[in-house]
Amino acid sequence: MSSQQGSHLFVLIHGLWGTPQHMGSLKESLQHYIDSKENAIFLLPSQNSKFKTFDGIEVLGYRALLEICQYIRRHNDLQECSDHKRITRISIIGYSLGGLVARFVVGKMFTECQEYFSGIEPVLFLTMASPHLGIRFFNPSNSLFRTILDPVMTVLGSNALGKSGRELFIANRYNDILIRLSEGEFIQGLAKFKHRTVCANVKNDRTVAFYTAFITNHDSFIESGNSVNYTFENNVPGTGYSNIIPRIVDLTRLDPKNKHVIENKRLSLNGKLKLYILLPCLFLVFFPIALLVNISGTVYRYFATIKYRKMIKNGNLPNEFREKVGISDRLETYVSATYESILKENESGNDGDLEDDDDLIQNGGKYNQSMSKIPTMDRNSRDKKWDIFIQKYSNIVDEKNMWYKRFDDLPFDNKRIAILKNLSSLKWIRVPIYVKALNAHGGIIARRGIDEDTQPTSLASIQFVGQLVDYLTSTN
């Protein structure tokens, strides 16, 4: 793309309990890899941080959408913003719950905000570890421990995480937004994007299981109790990886009969003492404190959002939004009055950056030291490798694939069956990623930033995604 054709806005939306800083490592990777000709600019919405993420996908979505509209208007209305710098393309990346918020935003972009987006081309929609089919625990091995634990976690998750938690678990008909997000304007909005991509952790994601992030009713890792033996892609596209090649699992080579042997390692006396101390602290101290904090946040946000829930129930929130955004010059006033927050102006000319750049500057230095310069590579050779990879993972859940037939369907309820059917009507690039971490959910985007303690597989993950995004957004 020529820079004369305008700027490309990348919107990065964080997840539950998150802040914009959680998307910092991914943003740095995108800045490093995306072709300078793309004239990329970045916006990390900041009005849905921490406890506010409990407010429900609809409220979160409108908040994010307001920030995006305000940013586009401010950017394009600058007197010094010449035509070749105006925003003409948009890509949206969501992490965890942020992926669902992004899907809400996409549905409203071209309906209630069409004045803002009528001249903007939707290019890439990408999510990482996002629960597109909601959260539900499965226990195919009928483990007694899981039989007891799963209902407890379901009750806690759907009650201690506010309205967002109830929506993620699709608790009842009043929290069915995940179904609505797969229909009507929302699925039509997704269809407008040139590319749709999901990245899912295959293992160790304690928050979002593989099947729901991958948009499938097959989960060989749950079915096998994570004992299925898997191999990684030998010819992963991309160059300049710092430590190791990204661990993309080759699903076509999965076989339920081929399992790895888990060694029973005996703990030393010192290890046993640490375990005996850690477990009581975990269940008697840390877990109750975390539960209390979440319940307190749920109660607080319940009262803080009474007005918005009434507006949603009466159908007034969309009407208010349409009235104020797109045709009114009082957008910032509306944001302040409606959501009790003021959009932060950044007059330095670096709009859309994180709220606190000091940490990013430090991490950015370490990050660039960890990242190799991209070796010069023939573009045709590069494109051919990416073409082969994308072709394979655009059809990876095709029932013609043998791996898909080797594993049983998960026992979905009717709601999840409907969501899966609707989302599967679109073409997706599905990428299964292995991140070696105690909890891969944060590792897939290097949520804590990049430093010497960052797992190599986590760094490789964001480097891979950076190059994937560069390829998808720079090809015609």
Residue 82 appears among annotated catalytic residues: no
- Reduced to 3 states (helix: H, G, I; strand: E, B; else coil), residue 16 is coil
DSSP lists the bridge partners of residue 430 as: 198
- For residue 336, give the 3-state DSSP assignment: helix
- Bridge pairing between strands 121-128 and 7-13: unpaired
Note the maximum CA span of the chain: 70
Q: Is 186 helix (H, G, I), strand (E, B) or coil?
A: helix
Residue located via tokens 């226990």: 139
| Whether the Cβ atoms of residue 29 and residue 93 lie closer than 8 Å to each other | no
| Dihedral, 188, 44, 166, 397 alpha carbons, nearest 10 | 50
Would you tell me how many other CB atoms lie within 10 Å of the CB of residue 82?
Answer: 10
Of 7, 96, 158, 458, which one is the catalytic site residue?
Answer: 96
- What does the alpha-carbon distance between residue 374 and residue 366 come to, in Å, rounded to a whole number? 17
In whole angstroms, give the CA distance from residue 362 to residue 358.
6
Which alpha helices (DSSP H) does 228-286 contain, by range? 269-281
For CA atoms 105, 110, 113, 119, the dihedral sign is positive
Whole-angstrom distance, CA of residue 54 vs CA of residue 343: 20
Residues 102/125, Cβ–Cβ less than 8 Å: yes
Cα separation, 150 vs 172, whole angstroms: 18
CA dist 404 and 218 (Å) reads 7
The H helix count followed by the E strand count for the chain is 21, 6
d(CA 436, CA 365): 24
Distance in angstroms between the alpha carbons of the first and the last residue of the chain: 8
* Cβ neighbours for 367, distance < 8 A, ≥ 6 positions apart: 25, 28, 29, 449, 450
Residues marked as catalytic = 96
